[in-house]
């Protein structure tokens, strides 16, 4: 993969993280804090009831964090598997006894770069889908609380 591809992936994942934080996690975090504050308003509640109330308040935020970890982690794993397939395919092109600098090795390395660049582009294009899934879950948990 080229350095440009790596930078594009890094920028894409950073942008995804920023959007998730700004538009989905922060509002849920604010709602959780406000909800927890209300749990403490009722002095007639037992400490166990207050703790249970506060735990319920954190539920939507925990749910969105779980989805983010699953979706982003899954996409990163898929990207790694794609890159590993590229490396395996390139390795298969190199005959026994070939040395660095041999034309066949250079072609295999070029093929690996081309292939991993394709992986980067493919998975970069999937970032909006990840954000859409996070948004859907955020809306669902926000409406259910």
DSSP state of 95: P
Exposure on the CB side of residue 41, measured as CA atoms within 13 A: 7
Residue 69 lies in a domain: yes
Let me know: does 105 contact 98? Beta carbons within 8 Å.
yes
Q: Which helix (H) or strand (E) holds 141?
A: helix 127-144
What does the pLDDT look like over 3-34, one tens digit per residue?
A: 999 999 999 999 999 999 999 899 999 999 99
What's the structural domain count of the chain?
A: 1
The pair of three-digit structure tokens given for residue 68, joined into one six-digit string? 């983010």
Question: Range of 99's domain?
Answer: 18-144
Residue 24 lies in a domain: yes
Q: Is the pLDDT of residue 89 over 90?
A: yes
Residue 5 lies in a domain: no
What does the pLDDT look like over 122-138, one tens digit per residue?
A: 999 999 999 999 999 98
50 band by pLDDT with thresholds 50, 70 and 90: very high
pLDDT at 96: 86
Share of the chain above pLDDT 90, in %: 74
Share of the chain above pLDDT 70, in %: 99
pLDDT at 105: 86
What's the per-residue H, E or C state across the chain? CCHHHHHHHHHHHHHHHHHHHHHHHHHHHHHHHHHHHHHCCCCCCCHHHHHHHHHHHHHHHHHHHHHHHHHHHHHHHHHHHHHHHHHHHHHHHCCCCCCCCCHHHHHHHHHHHHHHHHHHHHHHCCHHHHHHHHHHHHHHHHHHC
Q: What is the dihedral of CA 28, 32, 35, 41, to 10 degrees?
A: -150
75 band by pLDDT with thresholds 50, 70 and 90: very high
Residue 128 lies in a domain: yes
pLDDT at 37: 94
pTM for the whole thing? 0.77
Residue 12 lies in a domain: no
Residue 28 lies in a domain: yes
Residue 9 lies in a domain: no
Residue 83 lies in a domain: yes
145 band by pLDDT with thresholds 50, 70 and 90: low
């Amino acid at each position: 993969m080229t350095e440009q591809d790596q930078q594009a992936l890094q920028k894409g994942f950073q942008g995804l993280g920023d959007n998730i934080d700004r538009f989905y996690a922060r509002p849920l975090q604010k709602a959780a804090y406000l909800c927890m504050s209300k749990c403490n308003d009722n002095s007639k509640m037992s400490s166990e009831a207050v703790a249970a109330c506060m735990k319920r308040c954190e539920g939507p935020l925990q749910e969105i964090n779980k989805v983010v970890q699953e979706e982003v982690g899954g996409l990163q794993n898929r990207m790694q598997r794609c890159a590993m397939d590229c490396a395996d395919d390139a390795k298969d092109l190199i005959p026994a006894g070939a040395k660095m600098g041999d034309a066949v090795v250079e072609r295999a390395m070029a093929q690996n770069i081309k292939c991993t660049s394709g992986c980067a582009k493919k998975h970069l294009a999937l970032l909006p889908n990840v954000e859409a899934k996070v948004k859907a879950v955020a809306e669902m948990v926000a409406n259910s609380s």
